[in-house]
Amino acid sequence: MTLFQSPPPRMKGNNHHISAGVPSQPLELSEGRAFRLLFPRRPWRCVSRPTERIPAPLRGSPRARRDRTGRGAAPPPLSAARPERPACRAFKGPMAAMPGQRLCLPATAVPRCPGRSLAAVRAFPRGCRARGAPAGARVARGGRAVGPGVRRGQASGRALDSLDRGRRGRIKQAGGRLRCSCRGGRGAEPPPGPAEMEHGSRGAAPGGVSVSAVLPAGGSGERLGGATPKQFCAVQGRPLVSYAVLAMERISWISDIIVVVSSENIETMKTIIEKYGHKRVTVVEGGITRHRSIFNGLKVFAENEFSSHLVQKPDVVIIHDAVRPFVEEDIVSKVVMAAKEHGAAGAIRPLVSTVIASAADGCLDHSLERTRYRASEMPQAFLFDIIYGAYQQCTDYDLDYGTECLHLALKYCKTNARLVEGTADLWKVTYKRDLYAAESIIKDNLSQEVCVITNVKETLAQVGFLLPESLKSQIKVEAISISLSKNDSCLQNIISGPCYNFVCVNDERWAIQEAQELVNMLEKSNIPLLYPVVLILVYLDIPENNSFSIGMEGLTMIKKFAREAKKKNILVYGLLIQYKIAVQTTQTRAALWILRIVLGYEEDNADSEGTVCLKLSGKQTVIGNAS
């Protein structure tokens, strides 16, 4: 956390942190129990697992680190100016900070991380293939991975020459860029041409400036623990980094999004981009500290003048941690406007704990007047030349131990950043509890409303009617009876409202074409850009005999459809209801499955009496089978 002094109007500390909840209880699928009991309203689930089918992200070797606890040993030799007084420490120890807040450590307690020394980490082998680099990628001079879109030698030698030669030691570690493939346009628009695919089709940026973003995602998440770096931990099935990318991507006036990851996770990041259909993203290899990663990200724009023209140097660059998933356009826009005017700007939040400084003997030295200080959060924005100039001038000490980009702009470019009051959700995922909190926020944002669209023959009308009725006792239900292909205005209204869960009841096997209509409408609405949409295809079946037969052809077709929809952030499920048994019971079971899916409990269990649930997104396996 970096503290900023501000004039003293008394502000009450904002307790914006989210208390951790209890892990979810195993769900019971007992018909005798009320749904309410089965679905605790705000469940917590363990989320720190890598997302399915994405190459397992690696923590990598221990990196040069600043001490996280304040209990460290002697500081490294300082080349940069050092605070006169011992710096500050949050009063209640490390765990007392807000989620995402950094503790300001005593300058006398900044040890190097045990493990590899900085020198060892710096000794990056030259000319070898980067671990985890994508097929076809190679490491150019200075450990630079060069993607297929970059001509050999381009990104290394010439770019190096363009920069301060005295800094080559650091520049050698610069990452290569990997332009990732972009996907088609939104809604009914035709897929963009090559130029658009590079930069997307964008609205005007605030103040008419060109804007791009750098998302540092090259950390190893030591404080969170676990084998997976936090940015790759799945939250509601999607890696954390993907939320931050999505947040930038949905801001139409951001041209390019540079995601900086460690060399061993380049492949993972590329897979995430592919899987979630992220657009306008370039992956760059990170450095051993956050500052070095950001510097690598910025170099891509600066070097562009001398090499390939994949990205253009923006007037303003946004820097936003990949582990701060909840950033809204409003705050991004404010910091960009402020950066345009002042050269630099960053989001701040009130402090929740008083900051105190300890003396060498471990006793209180002094404390700060809380109302005069702020916690520095993200996003931050800078005139590109200012922040890039600052990084070019800064010392190794700054790069290895600094925590604040705004500080670099001040120190090296005499730019006093404008501080912009941020929203409470800007905190950084740092500890494991923050992952639970992030999951909870995402679930809170998910709509607790279901739209049931029924399109069945009269003979099945009763069944079509019963399903929404069964759901109504648990969740808000909008039930409409239409044919999707008619592009119903009632459905349009529902889509433009806060409903992100759709159940299509059909008696025509899966009715893929109609479901596609709905996917198109949803895509046009941009809802899936903001929230994952759940689409459950319910097929009402009157079996000739007592067995189900899904049929390979149908299954392949619907799985393909689900795969495509998932790229658009629409999660498709199939539910086959055999209502020959007891209609009411079957409907109750079906409603139960629907609730499980909508509330995020789609587990690998199956109701084996009359309902088959196909988990079409995710693992894509038949998880239930009626025998």
Ligand X SMILES: O=C(CO)[C@H](O)[C@H](O)COP(=O)(O)O
Residues that bind ligand CTP (CB under 6 A): 63, 216-224, 229, 231, 260, 286-290, 293, 321-323, 428, 430
Q: Is 1 in the site for ligand X (CB under 6 A)?
A: yes
Site for ligand X in 80-109 (CB under 6 A): 102
Q: Using an 8 Å Cβ cutoff, are 236 and 443 in contact?
A: yes
Q: CA nearest 66: which of 124, 106, 19, 97?
A: 106
Residue nearest ligand CTP, Cβ-based: 219
Number of H-type helices and E-type strands within the chain: 19, 23
Distance CA 511, CA 627 (A): 24
Task: Report what 70 binds from ligand CTP, ligand X, none; CB cut-off 5-8 Å by kind.
Answer: none
Q: Using an 8 Å Cβ cutoff, are 504 and 511 in contact?
A: yes
- Whichever of 223 and 476 has its CB closer to ligand CTP, that residue is 223
Q: Is 428 in the site for ligand X (CB under 6 A)?
A: yes
Q: What number of CA atoms fall less than 13 Å from residue 275's CA on the CB side?
A: 19
Q: Is 321 in the site for ligand X (CB under 6 A)?
A: yes
Task: Report what 218 binds from ligand X, ligand CTP, none; CB cut-off 5-8 Å by kind.
Answer: ligand CTP
Distance CA 283, CA 214 (A): 10
Among 249, 315, 404, 523, which residue interacts with ligand X (rule: CB under 6 A)?
404
In the numeric block, the tokens 């005593």 are attached to: 106
Q: CA nearest 570: which of 613, 608, 517?
A: 517
Among 6, 252, 393, 403, which residue interacts with ligand X (rule: CB under 6 A)?
403
Q: CA nearest 25: which of 10, 8, 39?
A: 39
Per-residue contact string for residues 361-380; x = within reach of ligand X by CB under 6 A:
---------------x-x--
Q: Min. distance of Cβ 614 from ligand CTP in angstroms? A: 36
- Whichever of 293 and 506 has its CB closer to ligand X, that residue is 293
Q: Min. distance of Cβ 427 from ligand X in angstroms? A: 10
- Whichever of 259 and 521 has its CB closer to ligand CTP, that residue is 259
Q: Min. distance of Cβ 68 from ligand CTP in angstroms? A: 6
- Whichever of 290 and 340 has its CB closer to ligand CTP, that residue is 290
Q: Min. distance of Cβ 398 from ligand X in angstroms? A: 13
Pairing relationship of beta strands 316-319 and 373-383 according to DSSP bridges:
antiparallel
Q: What is the phi/psi pair of residue 571, to 5°?
A: -95, 115
Distance CA 604, CA 500 (A): 23
Q: Is 342 in the site for ligand X (CB under 6 A)?
A: no
- How far is CA 591 from its chain centroid? 31
Strands of 334-428, DSSP E: 344-350, 355-358, 364-367, 373-383, 418-421
Task: Report what 454 binds from ligand CTP, ligand X, none; CB cut-off 5-8 Å by kind.
Answer: none
Non-local (6+) Cβ contacts of 498 within 8 A are 447, 449
First to last CA, the chain: 58
Residue nearest ligand X, Cβ-based: 376
Q: What is the phi/psi pair of residue 16, to 5°?
A: -85, -5
Q: Is 290 in the site for ligand X (CB under 6 A)?
A: yes
Q: Work out the number of other CB atoms within 10 angstroms of the CB of residue 385.
A: 14
Q: Min. distance of Cβ 534 from ligand CTP in angstroms? A: 28
Per-residue contact string for residues 237-276; x = within reach of ligand X by CB under 6 A:
----------------------------------------
Q: Using an 8 Å Cβ cutoff, are 438 and 555 in contact?
A: no
- Whichever of 17 and 290 has its CB closer to ligand X, that residue is 290
Q: Min. distance of Cβ 44 from ligand X in angstroms? A: 24
Q: Is 67 in the site for ligand X (CB under 6 A)?
A: no
- Whichever of 231 and 474 has its CB closer to ligand X, that residue is 231
Chain residues binding ligand X by CB under 6 A are 1-2, 102, 290, 321, 376, 378, 403-404, 428
